[in-house]
Amino acid sequence: MLYRNFTLILLIIVQSFSASGQDFLRWADEFNGTILDSTNWEYQIGDGCPDLCGWGNNELQSYQKKNVTVSNGILTILAKKESFQNSSYTSARIRSLNKFDFASGRIDVRARLPRGKGYWPAVWFLPSENYYGTWPLSGEIDLMEGKGQEIKNTYGTIHYGAYPPNNKYTGATYTLPTGDFVSTFHTFTLLWKLDTIEWLVDGISYSKKTKKDLPDFWWPYNRNFHFIANLAVGGNFLGYPDASTPDTASLQIDYIRVYQNLEDIFITGPDAILRNDVQKLFYTQKLDGATYEWIAPAGSQIVSGQGTSSIRLNWGLKSDTVKVKISFQNKTKTISKFVLALPDTCEGVIDNQEEIRSMYWVGSNGNYRSSLANPSKDSINSSNLCSRYYRSSTVIYDALIINTDLIKNAKAFEDGNLILKMKLYTIAPIGTEVNLNFENRALAALPYPSGRRCVLQAKTTKTRVWEELTFKLILKPDPNTPEAAINQLVLLFAPNTNSSDVFYFDDFSIKETPCKQETTGMLNQYNEASDISVFPNPFTNEVNISAQFIPTDIELTDLVGKSVIRAATIDEFNKYVATLCSGAYYLRLTNDTHNYYFKLVKQMP
């Protein structure tokens, strides 16, 4: 029958989900006792040495337990001018790491800030796992920062980007229209959703950041973070105390509350995955008393964790959606995450600097720029954008460091079962070497060859035109580095030289040898399903769907899995079809028992 008659059914489903979106208090500390609750918090002690002296900001204080008190429903962190070991001030810093970790929700902190030049109060979040790399790659969220000399101002900021000194941050300042943050308590709020972070003071929104604000870097705010509350003294952010600064000051916190709703909970896991990759972790927020039912895509297998808030999954061959149904307080919500399986066939692009992004620059000796115009379009590379690298002539082993969520294991590349390719345009002479190291960053910080699991190499055969290079294994400098401990790729253009040449690169791709064969549940077989058809294909201004089942979701994605249209009915869906750009798309039709995909092509009328 023609698929146009299930609007009412989907409307009821949508309404039931909306009803489940009410906030509930998930976690709180009201500081009602007489000591700090050790089930919620731990102390961080000292001046940060030897690993992070001055706590990374040239601060003056040493953190001590004695500078924390809890009384009359108030947490007080006291900063005091006094000599302690190598520090001229004492203060305190507490955190909730591994006691309460969270992603998403509404976070309220009611606090009163200190007065005095050089006093730096903060309530902020750091990642509970450095999944994307050490600071700032895995992110930082500053809910509230103050400057003791600016008693009417507060700051909300996120940190991200490449390794220092190429780290990035973006944020905003809020100025109270009347009063100040020192005389009275104020409520600082963060609204955290999958792709959005918003800051408020006393209910007034003053800043919002989204995934689009980080165009050249991944959005790391999709994994668990934890609380930190501290009062620093001096540092790069605000300067140092002077003669006007009082000898003591305090940050007082009335409460910290975390509210959650089922609508804002999301699945954390890789955005892109290698075909047939194994033991991939997916998790969502752990709610006390909730039940979890995970639904793996066709061709994939849950190997552990079913019934809990996290699972390990062996993936199949195709891009698809992993789902979890959460039942909590008599409400049920099914959430999903689309995961891109790369390459999408036995050989294909895994990063083209445009719509397919899985590899990100995080550091280099030379000068790197992304998303630049292709210097010479030709039949090898006709894309609009690529990356450019000016090699540093002062470093003979100039290293361009790339992080990727996709490649964590070197074995298949060493064995030749996966072959990595890259397109290159350079003014360097023919025969120039290009090395690609698979490394573990922490181990590679030790003397060579530690941490360098293997080296793949290609050599140029052309100059001033595009060519596709194929990397081949030439060396295993440190076979003791675990094959599954790879967390960075390092490109070395013209290694062991003082070249200052320019290199444009694009279109990283992977080839499987032998090719893994499709079995069940793949796109081509769905196209041949006898009980459903989609026409015309190619289409212009309308898509027709004829089916013997009732889908509960209609979604159109681009080829990298980004949702373009999502609708409850085909009529609603077709309202947006005419505005689509020409190109290829995936149409997904699902209900509780079916998950059909169709590859469609939009052409202009």
Task: Assign 8 to helix, strand or coil.
Answer: helix
Integer angstrom CA distances of residue 54 from 146, 235, 241, 417, 441: 18, 8, 15, 47, 24
Is beta strand 87-91 parallel, antiparallel or unpaired with respect to 74-84?
Answer: antiparallel
- Catalytic-residue membership of 468: no
Say whether the peptide bond before residue 50 is cis (omega within 30 degrees of 0). yes
Contact 589, 575 (CB under 8 A): no
Q: Which of 145, 439, 512, 555 is catalytic?
A: 145
Tokens of 109: 């902190």
CA-CA distance, 599 to 593, in Å (whole number)? 20
Active-site residue identified among 59, 140, 439, 555: 140
**What are the φ/ψ torsions at residue 447 (nearest 5 degrees)?**
-55, 145
Nearest to 426 by CA among 387, 398, 400, 397: 387
Whether 347 is a known active-site residue: answer: no
Residue 101 contacts residue 227 (beta carbons within 8 Å): no
Write a three-state SS string for 48-89: CCCCCHHHHCCCCEEECHHHEEEECCEEEEEEEEEEECCEEE
Structure tokens, 294: 């995970």
DSSP state letters, 78-121: EEEEEEETTEEEEE-EEE-TTTSEE-SEEEEEEEE---STTEEE
Phi-psi region of 66 (alpha: psi -120 to 50; beta: other; left: phi over 0): alpha
Cβ neighbours of 187 (radius 10 Å): 15
What does the chain come to in residues? 605
CA–CA distance, 462 with 398 (Å, rounded to integer): 22
Residue 268's nearest CA partner among 221, 232, 319 is 221
DSSP letters, 528-573, are T-TTEEEE-SSBSS--EEEESS--SEEEEE-TTS-EEEEESSHHHH
Residue whose tokens read 């080296």? 455
Catalytic amino acids? 140, 145
